[in-house]
Structure 1
């Protein structure tokens, strides 16, 4: 791997709260951001979306920068990180697949992978810098436009989650039957596909850090579709490889190491193993586990992120306040000091029907109730 000297001359960072929490440090309050915080619940996003198709926004650095900055402007002083506006499915696009995003329907693959012979249709190896350079440009532009207000997060999908989409042809409320048929009927071909995706993920994350990302997150959104046994065979090895090779790659390029977050939705049973040996600095939690239980499983070797039920944002301000207070007490575990190694977030992404002012109330409540001064 080539060594690269990077000097983007970014503005100095004014708020490093999330970076300190990701390193496992005790912070004066919990840093907070929200998955999908730049998106459809914001009227300013919908206005841009009226004029531009979804992937056009992703592929146009100026538009992606604008969308990334929208929640930072709206909630100035309340959010502790920005996350670059993109999509996990840019990786299948880079591998030669067509992905469409019809309004109101979600991602669609007109020609999903039907069987192992279709692997020959995929680009491999992938020139990630060429295929996904627009993401890097957006990251660099956004870092400069943030003016150091908060750190910027980059991301990718996990190999299993991306494979599930590529075979299933889109999201599936009824289950990923086609994708799971692959792992049972074609285990070797499945592992070949997972390995290829893993290589692209590694290159993509390193490129995002090179471009200016200060943290990166891997979304294993469909980990919940796998049994513990199948997660261990068809997801965990590739997740572990990503963490290991990204860290090695950054070192080889003399790039500053950054915290790496894993969000494996529905894989709470694997927390102890993930904390012990996956190589991630932060483990994201869904809302189906109590904070004290999660900390007991993960120990103190990793930071935790999460994990309030996203639907609490539909419950009204009193409910938001009550549940945020409960979450904060759980992660503080009785300490009178500020939280240690905890990043506040939802247990999944914010959904389109949320009132932006309820999001504001959620963020404000985290600020108040995560402080060690509150009992």
Structure 2
């Protein structure tokens, strides 16, 4: 195993486990997006940028990578085009493509070893300042990308598979799940101290379809990753699940083995706390677009969020989705500084 520096800030790790805590583009212009992902030195550099810029205000770093490296590992070609996003050059069209276009067996060390190398390099470069997080895309979200060929407003092609070829869809979802499990285990062994599963298109499914085509596979991921790590003599790391728009699944998500549920901005904190009953740590959930507001609006919104979730409970402050690329970095600083200041204030009030 690698020898890593001692961790100086473990707040997010303790928060995810429900333990008591205190209070959380230049390279892109020079390099292709996936070139950065596949170059550990560049991935490390970009992962460290926010930690350096907001020194002392962030409690975790997340490795620079992308959820679509799994479809690439399976054999599909994906490009990241300016102003358009990800584009699959030869997406899946019919179930027969599972055998024709995808690898039967994926060796994650061979296909995704560059991510493991970036994680190890970044973990060492962080020198214990904050924990390093890894992640994958959830099977349903990845399946949808692989069939749609990119982003989609309706997901009509992917949903056609679910309703016309349900068994073949489950076969594809299982194939993605197996790679995802191996990939997360590899990330932990490489140095990731916490991992997250992103089901960004989970909310595009009805409750019934979510329970059929998403929940069983994200459940597998949590159980298999933790079990395999234990079998390998490695302490399982905290795991987070994020299912954007799947408010109806909160109770189920709190019972399938994840330590933290990340919430989008459409879920009321009080509702989430009532449903999950303290069984998991909640994370989120400020609307990322709020960072386009003025500083007073940002401060007021953060205060409202912290008061609703409660700083003395199982809670990790975060946005309700990823930060948008055109946000003013100073607005992000106001967001982070307000978390720190209001968090201390509310904690002191709670103690008194």
TM-score range, shorter chain: over 0.9
- Map 1:152-163; keep pairs closer than 5 Å: 152-163=132-143
Q: Aligned partners of 2:231 and 2:115: how far apart in 1? A: 22
Look up the match of 2:279.
301
1:117-169 Cα deviation digits (max 9, x unpaired): 10012002110111000000000000000010000000000000000000000
Asked whether the equivalents of residues 27 and 340 of structure 1 are also in contact (C-alpha less than 8 Å), the reply is no
Aligned partner (choices 74, 77, 83) of residue 104 of structure 1: 83
Look up the match of 1:322.
300
Look up the match of 1:289.
267
Look up the match of 2:336.
363
Count the aligned residue pairs.
347
Q: Aligned partners of 1:50 and 1:350: how far apart in 2? A: 18
SS at 2:78 equivalent: coil
Q: Aligned partners of 1:23 and 1:248: how far apart in 2? A: 17
Deviation at residue 370 of structure 1 after TM alignment = 2.1
Q: Aligned partners of 1:328 and 1:246: how far apart in 2? A: 32
| 1:131 has 2:111 as partner | yes
1:26-53 Cα deviation digits (max 9, x unpaired): 3222x3xxxxxxxxxxxxx2x1122210
- Map 1:1-375; keep pairs closer than 5 Å: 6=1, 8-29=2-23, 31=24, 45=25, 47-120=26-99, 121-172=101-152, 174-276=153-255, 278-332=256-310, 338-371=311-344, 372-374=347-349
- Structure 1 runs not aligned, ≥5 long: 1-5, 32-44, 333-337
SS at 2:240 equivalent: strand
1:215-236 Cα deviation digits (max 9, x unpaired): 0000000001100010000000
SS at 2:85 equivalent: coil
Look up the match of 1:41.
none
Deviation at residue 323 of structure 1 after TM alignment = 0.5
1:309-332 Cα deviation digits (max 9, x unpaired): 111101110000000000000011
Deviation at residue 374 of structure 1 after TM alignment = 4.7
SS at 1:100 equivalent: strand
* TM-score, with length taken from structure 1: 0.91
Q: Aligned partners of 1:129 and 1:168: how far apart in 2? A: 27
Following TM superposition, the consecutive aligned residue runs of length 4 or more in structure 1 with deviations greater than 4 angstroms are none
Asked whether the equivalents of residues 161 and 222 of structure 1 are also in contact (C-alpha less than 8 Å), the reply is yes
Q: Aligned partners of 1:51 and 1:292: how far apart in 2? A: 44
Deviation at residue 242 of structure 1 after TM alignment = 0.2
SS at 2:197 equivalent: strand
1:270-320 Cα deviation digits (max 9, x unpaired): 1011112x1111000001111111010011111010001111101110000
Asked whether the equivalents of residues 282 and 305 of structure 1 are also in contact (C-alpha less than 8 Å), the reply is yes
SS at 1:353 equivalent: coil
What is the aligned-residue RMSD (CA, Å)?
A: 0.9
Q: Aligned partners of 2:150 and 2:349: how far apart in 1? A: 45
Q: Bigger relative contact order, structure 1 or 2, given CA contacts below 8 A and separation 6+?
A: 1
Deviation at residue 256 of structure 1 after TM alignment = 1.8
Q: Aligned partners of 2:163 and 2:348: how far apart in 1? A: 53
